[in-house]
A and B are shown apart, each in its own frame.
Chain A
């Protein structure tokens, strides 16, 4: 039969149409099944949702969340309306907890390395086998101090278990924080005599003067601050005034009424100058002024606005009027942190800034700085201590000399976040055994010998104290909202609770932790102590009812249990300025900043967070460098130009010593001598969503530390910018849709003079 082209086309078309029609007639096969599950709790009604209160552990601020669960699957995260820290609000990071729970690259059982270190070859073993191997290694240590455990600064029962294990074994424990808050915490201790971070009562404040801290976005407890800020600006009260001082255009700066750019590291000098005006003009608390000036022995005249204006980069008149505004609008709060604390004079800056609160009577009063009391549970750690950069350098040296036998890492990624110049990564090759508790691959886990994947926080129990509490006693209860996802793999595979794993290990080693036998008993013991108090948000006659009540509400708190401690007499201000020191050969100050969604890189494995636009640039998925628009024009740099950021530091290996690459984002709000780069990308290891994506700015930081505390001065690096000639379209939301075409002949609004 002869088939012409026309007939062929007709047959194909007709066949296609028929296929479509007949396909639409049937019912999809999957719809013709009704599943009868094997086991289901008796009270579970399929199709109806349950909401469980628990804690979000995505970022360190410990917010209360409620999770919607249907048929045993977590579906949605919302803020817990009851929980005092966030009062129903939550962040994108909390939402993305679901993706951490159901991540396709989650590690589903203990792994041991088979190939060379970092080669990515693993063999799955059972939990008893993996824990047995670790116990054997620990028994074989000649010096118990050769055990090093690195965790996040945990204020929780898991943290207590880790503490006890390390101290009873005789090892060392370090607490890791990428953009460390050592200087802020030390200043709080020195200026207010407090061990815990205080609460900033933004909600009831009239005036906020913030220095460097991006407190609405990433610093401290951003959800709590942002909630208070909403009341501060638009609540049922007079609108508060906010002035932000920074060396970068941050989201907090963008929200402020006014933003001042100071020369990097001069925030403390500006604060002292403000203090000098307040004292000089007799506007402040006289007792505090007397104490701060050491009875008049410190000559505040040397910080007078006209003498420091040039060094700070703000005009003398404006410093003067700023001091008056701050002193006259009460209650006002001075908040310092972020890059202001990340210079070699970071502690000096923080002491100067936080001392301002004493001058305006803002310490321990509503609308000011409120102290956080200790929780009423024995032994529960509530004070976040953070290991300083000096500690990490010491550890790196120890590792290099073979002084570390077993390195255990939990909820921290030091291989990613420590500056490349410390050589931490290379030194780790001299450590015989590295153990990671992460349930997803990251830079540290990729180099591990044994991986003991822990439960996601949505599958795990804990009791935790929010680091930035609400100003009264608050204890959060974390409960599993679903059965462990890998439970079906049996008792010897799948994930385990970190605390359970450590307690099993301790039992195997014959260590007495001085704690109840199991983690479950430990939690009940903690709850029983709260029950015994007989006050607060949950009270009950019997313990069972108390336990259920506390789990239902997501924790226990007592709004009347405020700190009884009086503020210490303020210590004298520094007698003279400590000038910041910078390192590196370039012309620009490098100010790295925590990404709004990825934070310090911990969110990089979650696509929702990767795709969350940065609040200033609206950029996603990449590493970019914010540079002043005029400077960029002079250097002939356009948006999306691939530029190389070069410092004279980096890893000893050649690739990063040449600097890192980033996409240029010219922005008029960036000061001309500053470039800003977000943290979070540039992972060498990790899951499919983060590996090999973008660049890691921490890798090229100068190994500079605060002169007094040894905290990493992560804003003390100077860099140069070089064009590479490449161009990549910067993935961002802003300006991707062009403006409406305007018809110049037809005005939308016509303004005419009134007198015609």
Chain B
């Protein structure tokens, strides 16, 4: 026995019983609490809840109003998100595409002026991502859009809302569906799409 060596004091029998009772009583709420926070946390990662305005969607470098472009001007989704029927990513349009109109349209509006300044600087815009699936998931826009538009004989831009909600009615774009695996699998099952692991995880 050297000095400084660890040697816990041996509890008495009474202390042991007390400890185990308190421990057992404490364990139940603790476990419940842990589960609750885990659930909350994972749900939050999937889609923030509608409390204190957390579900509003992030603030973007330019406050782009989908309402004005879609609802008021009637632009088609695929007018800007051009690759949605051609590739995996729907793609955010390049600044140059915005400028085809905004060279003349919207002169004097503060957000449009911001856009014009960015265009002149030759720099890209770093938008804040709203929809995201983890790295181990592959989502292909082309396959989904073409499947629904061909099956239901509708325009590709009418398919978008299935997952993205009514973006045309959003001032700030926010996530409309959970987009967790359960969400994906349910939808795949309902529509007769394959539910093998490698469908998405490859």
Q: Which residues of A contact B (CB under 8 A)?
A: 4, 6, 25, 27, 31-40, 45-48, 488
- Expressed in whole angstroms, the minimum distance between the Cβ of B128 and any Cβ of chain A is 6
Closest to B89 in A: A47
B residues less than 8 Å from A4 (CB atoms): 4
In the bound complex, how far is the Cα of B27 from the Cα of A641, in angstroms?
Answer: 69
Taking a contact as CB atoms under 8 Å apart, the answer to whether B132 and A38 are in contact is no
Taking a contact as CB atoms under 8 Å apart, the answer to whether B119 and A27 are in contact is no
Contacts A40-B96, A45-B86 given; indicate if A33 touches B126 (C-beta within 8 A).
yes
Closest to A6 in B: B6
Which positions 97-123 of chain B face chain A at CB distance < 8 Å? 118-119, 122-123
11 contacts between A and B (CB under 8 A): A31-B129, A32-B128, A32-B129, A34-B128, A35-B127, A39-B96, A40-B96, A45-B86, A46-B89, A48-B86, A48-B87
Taking a contact as CB atoms under 8 Å apart, the answer to whether B87 and A39 are in contact is no
Taking a contact as CB atoms under 8 Å apart, the answer to whether A35 and B125 are in contact is yes
With A31-B132, A32-B129, A38-B118 known, 13 other A-B pairs at CB within 8 A are A6-B6, A33-B129, A34-B129, A35-B127, A36-B95, A36-B125, A38-B119, A38-B123, A40-B96, A46-B83, A46-B89, A47-B87, A488-B122
Taking a contact as CB atoms under 8 Å apart, the answer to whether A38 and B129 are in contact is no
- Expressed in whole angstroms, the minimum distance between the Cβ of A9 and any Cβ of chain B is 12
Taking a contact as CB atoms under 8 Å apart, the answer to whether B132 and A36 are in contact is no
B residues less than 8 Å from A488 (CB atoms): 122
Taking a contact as CB atoms under 8 Å apart, the answer to whether B94 and A45 are in contact is no
- Expressed in whole angstroms, the minimum distance between the Cβ of A2 and any Cβ of chain B is 12
- Is B91 interfacial (CB-CB < 8 Å)? yes
A residues less than 8 Å from B41 (CB atoms): 25
- Is B93 interfacial (CB-CB < 8 Å)? yes
Taking a contact as CB atoms under 8 Å apart, the answer to whether B88 and A36 are in contact is no
In the bound complex, how far is the Cα of B88 from the Cα of A33, in angstroms?
Answer: 17
Q: Which of A4, A36, A46 is the most central at the interface, judged by chain B CB atoms within 10 Å of its CB?
A: A36
- Expressed in whole angstroms, the minimum distance between the Cβ of A4 and any Cβ of chain B is 8
B residues less than 8 Å from A35 (CB atoms): 92, 124-127
Taking a contact as CB atoms under 8 Å apart, the answer to whether B83 and A37 are in contact is no
Contact with A along B74-86 (1 / 0, CB 8 A): 0000000001001
In the bound complex, how far is the Cα of B118 from the Cα of A699, in angstroms?
Answer: 55
A residues less than 8 Å from B4 (CB atoms): 4
In the bound complex, how far is the Cα of B133 from the Cα of A31, in angstroms?
Answer: 10
In the bound complex, how far is the Cα of B93 from the Cα of A330, in angstroms?
Answer: 64
In the bound complex, how far is the Cα of B124 from the Cα of A488, in angstroms?
Answer: 14
Closest to B96 in A: A39
In the bound complex, how far is the Cα of B86 from the Cα of A46, in angstroms?
Answer: 10
B residues less than 8 Å from A33 (CB atoms): 126-129
A residues less than 8 Å from B129 (CB atoms): 31-34
Closest to A26 in B: B45
- Expressed in whole angstroms, the minimum distance between the Cβ of B94 and any Cβ of chain A is 4
In the bound complex, how far is the Cα of B60 from the Cα of A33, in angstroms?
Answer: 10
Contacts A34-B127, A34-B129 given; indicate if A46 touches B96 (C-beta within 8 A).
no
Contact with A along B17-50 (1 / 0, CB 8 A): 0000000000000000000000001000100000
- Expressed in whole angstroms, the minimum distance between the Cβ of A8 and any Cβ of chain B is 13
A residues less than 8 Å from B125 (CB atoms): 35-36
Contacts A32-B128, A46-B89 given; indicate if A38 touches B95 (C-beta within 8 A).
yes
- Expressed in whole angstroms, the minimum distance between the Cβ of B43 and any Cβ of chain A is 13
- Expressed in whole angstroms, the minimum distance between the Cβ of B118 and any Cβ of chain A is 7
Taking a contact as CB atoms under 8 Å apart, the answer to whether A37 and B86 are in contact is no
B residues less than 8 Å from A48 (CB atoms): 86-87
In the bound complex, how far is the Cα of B95 from the Cα of A37, in angstroms?
Answer: 6
Closest to A38 in B: B95
Q: Which of A4, A38, A39, A45 is the most central at the interface, judged by chain B CB atoms within 10 Å of its CB?
A: A38
Contacts A39-B95, A47-B88, A47-B89 given; indicate if A32 touches B119 (C-beta within 8 A).
no
A residues less than 8 Å from B86 (CB atoms): 45, 48
Which positions 47-86 of chain B face chain A at CB distance < 8 Å? 83, 86
In the bound complex, how far is the Cα of B102 from the Cα of A745, in angstroms?
Answer: 84
In the bound complex, how far is the Cα of B129 from the Cα of A37, in angstroms?
Answer: 15
In the bound complex, how far is the Cα of B6 from the Cα of A36, in angstroms?
Answer: 61
Taking a contact as CB atoms under 8 Å apart, the answer to whether B128 and A36 are in contact is no
The 9 closest A-B pairs by CB, nearest first: A40-B94, A36-B92, A39-B96, A33-B126, A38-B95, A36-B125, A37-B94, A35-B124, A34-B127
One of A6, A34, A45 near B83 (C-beta < 8 A): A45
B residues less than 8 Å from A34 (CB atoms): 92, 126-129
In the bound complex, how far is the Cα of B124 from the Cα of A39, in angstroms?
Answer: 8
A residues less than 8 Å from B126 (CB atoms): 33-35
B residues less than 8 Å from A31 (CB atoms): 129, 132
- Expressed in whole angstroms, the minimum distance between the Cβ of A50 and any Cβ of chain B is 13
A residues less than 8 Å from B95 (CB atoms): 36-39
Closest to A488 in B: B122
- Expressed in whole angstroms, the minimum distance between the Cβ of B180 and any Cβ of chain A is 14
Which positions 140-177 of chain B face chain A at CB distance < 8 Å? none
B residues less than 8 Å from A47 (CB atoms): 83, 87-89, 91
Closest to B94 in A: A40
Taking a contact as CB atoms under 8 Å apart, the answer to whether A36 and B94 are in contact is yes
One of A25, A27, A46 near B132 (C-beta < 8 A): A27
One of A27, A37, A45 near B87 (C-beta < 8 A): A45
In the bound complex, how far is the Cα of B132 from the Cα of A748, in angstroms?
Answer: 55
One of A6, A32, A37, A45 near B124 (C-beta < 8 A): A37
Taking a contact as CB atoms under 8 Å apart, the answer to whether A36 and B87 are in contact is no
Contacts A32-B132, A34-B92, A36-B92 given; indicate if A46 touches B87 (C-beta within 8 A).
yes
- Expressed in whole angstroms, the minimum distance between the Cβ of B46 and any Cβ of chain A is 12
Contacts A6-B6, A25-B41, A47-B89 given; indicate if A36 touches B124 (C-beta within 8 A).
yes
A residues less than 8 Å from B87 (CB atoms): 45-48
One of B45, B83, B93, B122 near A36 (C-beta < 8 A): B93
Taking a contact as CB atoms under 8 Å apart, the answer to whether A39 and B92 are in contact is no
Contacts A46-B89, A47-B88 given; indicate if A39 touches B132 (C-beta within 8 A).
no
- Expressed in whole angstroms, the minimum distance between the Cβ of A10 and any Cβ of chain B is 11
In the bound complex, how far is the Cα of B130 from the Cα of A31, in angstroms?
Answer: 11
A residues less than 8 Å from B45 (CB atoms): 27
- Expressed in whole angstroms, the minimum distance between the Cβ of A46 and any Cβ of chain B is 6
Closest to B125 in A: A36
Contacts A47-B87, A47-B89 given; indicate if A39 touches B94 (C-beta within 8 A).
yes
Closest to B128 in A: A32
B residues less than 8 Å from A46 (CB atoms): 83, 87, 89, 91
In the bound complex, how far is the Cα of B63 from the Cα of A398, in angstroms?
Answer: 70
In the bound complex, how far is the Cα of B88 from the Cα of A750, in angstroms?
Answer: 58
A residues less than 8 Å from B93 (CB atoms): 36
A residues less than 8 Å from B92 (CB atoms): 34-36
B residues less than 8 Å from A40 (CB atoms): 94, 96
- Expressed in whole angstroms, the minimum distance between the Cβ of A73 and any Cβ of chain B is 15
